[in-house]
Amino acid sequence: MPRLKISLPVFQDLALGISDEPDGHSRYPTARLQKGLVMHYRGLDLTEEAVGFGVPVLKCGLLAVFPGAVELELLQGEPAWKVSAVYSLNLVEKVGRVNSTTLKSKAFYHIKDSLAALIRHIPALRAPLTASSSAARRVFNWETRYEAAQGKYEVRLVYTLDTAKGSLLVETGDVPLPAAVTELIIMNEQGAHSFDQYQDSTGVCLSGKAIGCWDEVLADRASFASSIQGLRFTLPKAAGARLFRGRELIGSRLAWAGFGYTLSHPSNRFEYSLRLEKVP
Q: What angle do CA 70, 71, 73 make, to 5 degrees?
A: 135
- Summarize pLDDT for 150-205 with one digit per residue, the tens: 888 999 999 999 998 999 999 997 778 888 899 999 999 999 999 999 999 999 99
The pLDDT of residue 90 is above 80 = yes
Q: Provide the residue ranges of all domains of the chain, joining segments of one domain with +.
A: 5-269
Beta bridge partners of 183: 59
The confidence score (pLDDT) of residue 140 equals 73
- Coil/strand/helix, residue 116: helix
Average pLDDT of span 133-159: 86
Run of H or E including 106: helix 106-121
Asked if 267 contacts 156 with a C-beta cutoff of 8 angstroms, the reply is no
The pLDDT of residue 115 is above 80 = no
The confidence score (pLDDT) of residue 25 equals 64
Q: How far apart are CA 138 and CA 18, in angstroms?
A: 34
The pLDDT of residue 24 is above 80 = no
Run of H or E including 236: strand 231-236
Helix and strand totals (H; E) in the chain: 2, 18
The confidence score (pLDDT) of residue 160 equals 97
Run of H or E including 221: strand 221-226
The pLDDT of residue 29 is above 80 = yes
The confidence score (pLDDT) of residue 2 equals 54
The confidence score (pLDDT) of residue 129 equals 67
Q: What angle do CA 172, 221, 43 make, to 5 degrees?
A: 70
pLDDT confidence band for 114 (50 / 70 / 90): confident
Whole-prediction pTM: 0.93
Instruction: Write the CB contacts of 234 (distance below 8 Å, at least 6 apart in sequence).
Output: 221, 222, 223, 274, 275, 277
Q: How far apart are CA 240 and CA 131, in angstroms?
A: 35
Average pLDDT of span 223-234: 97
- Summarize pLDDT for 35-73 with one digit per residue, the tens: 999 999 998 999 999 999 999 999 999 999 999 999 999
Report the 10 Å Cβ neighbour count for 166. Answer: 17
Please tell me the least confidently modeled range out of 115-119, 153-157, 176-180, 255-259.
115-119
What's the chain's average pLDDT?
90
